[in-house]
Amino acid sequence: MDRKALEYHVRGILEAIGEDPEREGLLDTPSRVAAMLEETLEGIAYTNHDIAKMFGKTFSSESLSDSEEAVVMKDITVFSYCEHHLALMYDMSVNVAYIPHGRVLGLSKIARICDMAAKRLQLQEKLGRDICEIISEAAGTPDVAVAIKGSHSCMTARGIRNASAQTLTTTFIGAFKGDPELKKLVEFG
């Protein structure tokens, strides 16, 4: 990211909304916002393949039967930004399930994949597809399910201002596509 450009444009936004970027409370705001954007949008710098390689540490799962076992992790907390309004997508919970085919991911890697994939401008539907694709590549399995539930400030704080609205998206690939019992593994309670 171009930090100097970010600072310049944040200063311009402050001026455009009628603020004085020279007043005490705003003096360091362009720098702080630039640093925040570098951190919260870090995932923009990486492709799905890059993220799969970064967090693709797997372990043998020889004791697991490919057709009878699934790895499920629920309630992974992430946040992101809507690409339409740059609005915060918050209170997001991600459920992930996959069927190992000889290898399992370290559990922390699943949460790290969700976190890094969320650090992009996007739609919730795309985030689910990206997590599915990354988990599939990292774990070496075609069988992955992702469910995401979250609130979007473009719905809750502006526009219709429906504060209780939540969005639920699901993505199923491989064995999860046609098996209602497997799909239940990622359902929200």
Instruction: List the catalytic residues.
Output: 82-85, 124, 152, 154
Region label for 16, one of left (φ > 0), alpha (ψ between -120 and 50) or beta (otherwise): alpha
Angstrom distances, CA of residue 56 to CA of 11, 47, 104, 107, 137: 40, 14, 9, 11, 8
Chain-centre distance of CA 150, in angstroms? 11
Q: How far is CA 176 from CA 39, 48, 84, 168, in A?
A: 34, 21, 30, 17
Residue type present at position 18: G
